[in-house]
């Protein structure tokens, strides 16, 4: 039976089968029982509390683990509260969040109907993004049913978990007294507590604690990327694999700056919380949740309009985050041996750039970059721009002009330049650099390390919405991955046949990664493994790789891998164009693929981006970028 026919047959049977019995999970030792619900072929357990209420004296403090009373009967049939945030939605990425509370450290579990404690299924944990201001485990944009149904049809069933963590000032306030109490970055400490709960308890739900994959997008991906560096890697991590979409560790810019403390004090001033450090903290803890949320969000929006993203952010505390991520990765202060996938969208920086018509001259490119990288000098900008000359983006302008409608705005070449610069600074280069260090240092300890994979998403379900909103120039924007990895989940629109096919391929790759440690691309019923991105290490290139493979996914060029490489005439200069060297491939990649028209087209486009050259330069800015 073909894979497609098997899937269709299984889905027909699964949809027609309603499991009447209430799913129940009982912990053997504590006799605690969780009562869930069944929805078609998927069982759900919601509002599973993993840490205590964070209000009052617990506000701004690390999470305190919660253990139910022995023999408790717990109703897990309805969603739990979200952590404090603005209630308004941010379409097409987040719905409204009507129920918020400081008693929000809870998680949800979904699994195939009929799963038992003996099944030992791979586990995936979703960590939502949202710029550290928005998100909940229960948002419909992250509904797990399509993903779980696909996993079962592929005969690789998974268990899905999603958890809440504190956001904005509640999760990332900074004051000297909080630092001395080891109470900074409590939002990330919440995440780690949730991960640990899963590792300790998922066996009862039928999961395998030795196969736990965390995945997330944007700030969710960035948090995931930073967790291996927590405590300098000395305490391990409560997961085994990671998949970060548009969220490498370097997206956490300005992690060494005093910006978060300045923001905390500014909010305190607005709330008339003054005096010494301890008095300010006491006052902030006494402010009603609704008032603190409103004030912090109003301040954040004014600081970084329109949504206030990345105002209260992780910061170096000498404890949970002991140093800048670039320092920790270079010095090996992170957990090695974690199979990882890093991805970015082709136009990942476009929404951060701003409106295209405003970029009439080169100097206009500075403003959006300064919003993320305030320490760069005029000399830095001059050199940065020289790596992204206007002549390199003539094809982007021509491509846009060829499809631009009469009412569509003009997009000058400088818009495409700054969009690419922001993509590389925020998402691409850090993915390459930390991926390389994870691969290089893990292989030094274990030659059988499965490796790191990189991908570039070149298709988006959001394109029609962007065009309708008057922004057809944006392309494959930040956040496009979610619709695909959740297997065709698009609450705002219709999923086309092409998008559904790509969804099954991307979600299928992820499911295979969760089960085996290797993403396997599904195309026309065939299973094609992704190539390892760093098959060999060039010891001369301590600032980054000299060669890499990237999986390009979707879009007009199709799906397949590309290879980049460079040669040296000395330790620092490029002597030949990228793509000129033979790249070793992993087992399963056919040489014929390298000779195909699709491969040559993808190769040409990727070579135009000059990733190795540009990322080598961007890495020299790490200290000024605060990464």
Strand partners, 370: none
> In sequence order, which ranges of 168-239 are alpha helices (DSSP H)?
168-172, 176-180, 186-201, 219-226
Answer for the pair 528, 598: CB distance below 8 angstroms, yes or no.
no
Half-sphere exposure of 386 (CA within 13 A, CB side): 7
Is 218 a residue of the active site? yes
The tens digit of pLDDT for each residue in 57-82 reads 999 999 999 999 999 999 999 999 99
Say what the pLDDT of residue 543 is: 62
Strand partners, 44: 37, 110
Confidence of residue 12 (pLDDT cuts 50, 70, 90): very low
Catalytic residue among 183, 218, 480, 533, which? 218
Answer for the pair 563, 591: CB distance below 8 angstroms, yes or no.
no
Strand intervals (E) in 452-610: 452-457, 520-523, 526-529, 547-553, 560-565
Say what the pLDDT of residue 569 is: 44
Indicate the average pLDDT of the chain.
91
The tens digit of pLDDT for each residue in 371-421 reads 888 899 999 999 999 999 999 999 999 999 999 999 999 999 999 999 999
Tell me the three state secondary structure of residue 3: helix
In percent, the amount of the chain with pLDDT more than 90 equals: 83
Q: What are the structural domain ranges in the chain?
A: 3-303, 336-625
Confidence of residue 599 (pLDDT cuts 50, 70, 90): confident
Whole-prediction pTM value? 0.93
Strand partners, 35: 24, 75
The tens digit of pLDDT for each residue in 169-198 reads 999 999 999 999 999 999 999 999 999 999
Q: Give the distance from CA 295 to its chain's centroid.
A: 28
Strand partners, 45: 109
The tens digit of pLDDT for each residue in 144-167 reads 999 999 999 999 999 999 999 999
Question: Residue 552 region, left (φ>0) first, then alpha (ψ -120 to 50), else beta?
Answer: beta
Confidence of residue 304 (pLDDT cuts 50, 70, 90): confident
The tens digit of pLDDT for each residue in 552-590 reads 999 999 999 899 987 544 444 433 333 333 333 344 444
Element (H, E) at 415: helix 413-423
Pick the CATH number of 3-303 from 3.40.50.300, 3.40.50.10090, 3.40.50.1820, 2.170.190.11: 3.40.50.1820
Strand intervals (E) in 118-277: 121-127, 159-163, 207-217, 241-245
Say what the pLDDT of residue 528 is: 82
> In sequence order, which ranges of 287-348 are alpha helices (DSSP H)?
289-303, 325-330
Using CA atoms, how far apart are residues 28 and 421, in angstroms rounded to an integer?
54
């Amino acid at each position: 039976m073909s894979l497609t026919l098997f899937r269709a047959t299984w889905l027909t049977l699964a949809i027609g089968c309603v499991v009447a019995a209430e799913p129940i999970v009982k912990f053997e030792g504590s006799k605690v029982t969780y009562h869930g619900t069944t929805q078609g072929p998927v069982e759900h357990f919601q509002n599973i509390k993993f840490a205590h209420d964070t209000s009052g004296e617990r506000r701004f403090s690390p999470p305190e683990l919660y253990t139910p009373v022995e023999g408790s009967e717990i109703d897990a049939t309805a969603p739990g509260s979200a952590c404090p945030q603005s209630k308004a939605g941010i379409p097409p990425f987040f719905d409204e969040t009507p129920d918020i509370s400081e008693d929000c450290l809870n998680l949800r579990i979904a699994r195939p109907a009929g799963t038992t404690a003996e099944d030992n299924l791979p586990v995936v944990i979703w960590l939502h993004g949202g710029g550290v201001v928005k998100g909940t485990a229960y948002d419909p944009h992250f509904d797990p049913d399509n993903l779980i149904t696909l996993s079962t049809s592929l005969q690789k069933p998974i268990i899905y978990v999603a958890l809440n963590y504190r956001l904005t000032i509640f999760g990332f306030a900074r004051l000297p007294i909080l630092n001395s109490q080891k109470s900074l970055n409590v939002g990330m400490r919440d995440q780690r507590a949730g991960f640990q709960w899963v590792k300790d308890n998922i066996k009862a739900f039928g999961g395998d604690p030795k196969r736990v994959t965390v995945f997330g997008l944007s700030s969710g991906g960035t948090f995931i990327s930073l967790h291996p560096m927590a405590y300098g890697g000395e305490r391990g991590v409560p997961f085994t694999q990671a998949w970060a979409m548009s969220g490498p560790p370097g997206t956490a810019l300005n992690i060494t700056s005093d910006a978060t403390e300045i923001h905390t004090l500014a909010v305190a001033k607005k709330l008339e919380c003054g005096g010494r450090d301890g008095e300010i903290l006491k006052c902030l803890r006494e402010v009603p949740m609704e008032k603190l949320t409103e004030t912090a969000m109003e301040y954040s929006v004014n600081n970084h309009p329109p949504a206030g993203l990345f105002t209260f952010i992780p910061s170096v505390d000498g404890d949970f985050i002991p140093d800048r991520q670039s320092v920790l990765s270079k010095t090996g202060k992170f957990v090695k041996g974690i199979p990882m996938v890093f991805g970015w969208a082709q136009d990942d920086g476009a929404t951060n750039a701003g409106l295209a018509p405003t970029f009439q001259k080169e100097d206009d490119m500075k403003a959006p970059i300064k919003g993320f990288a305030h320490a760069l000098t005029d000399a830095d900008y001059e050199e940065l721009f020289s790596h992204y000359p206007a002549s390199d983006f003539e094809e982007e302008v021509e491509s846009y002009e060829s499809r631009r409608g009469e009412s569509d705005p003009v997009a000058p070449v400088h818009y495409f330049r700054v969009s690419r610069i922001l993509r590389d600074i925020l998402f691409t280069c850090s993915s390459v650099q930390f991926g390389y260090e994870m691969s290089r240092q893990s292989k030094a300890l274990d030659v059988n390390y499965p490796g790191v994979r990189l991908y570039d998403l070149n298709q988006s379900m959001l394109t029609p919405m962007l065009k309708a909103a008057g922004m057809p120039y944006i392309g494959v924007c930040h956040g496009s991955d979610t619709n695909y990895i959740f297997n065709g989940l698009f609450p705002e629109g219709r999923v086309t046949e092409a998008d559904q096919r790509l969804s099954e391929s991307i979600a299928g790759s992820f499911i295979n990664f969760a089960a085996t440690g290797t993403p396997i691309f599904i195309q026309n019923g065939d299973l094609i493994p992704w190539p390892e991105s760093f098959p060999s290490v060039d010891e001369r290139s301590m600032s980054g790789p000299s060669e890499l493979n990237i999986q390009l996914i979707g879009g007009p060029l199709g799906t397949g891998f590309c290879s980049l490489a460079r040669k040296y005439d000395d330790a620092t200069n490029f002597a030949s164009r990228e793509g000129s060297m033979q790249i070793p491939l992993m087992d399963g990649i056919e040489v014929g693929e390298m000779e195909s028209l699709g491969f040559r087209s993808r190769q040409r486009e990727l070579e135009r981006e000059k990733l190795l050259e540009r990322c080598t330069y961007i890495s020299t800015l790490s200290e000024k970028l605060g990464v």
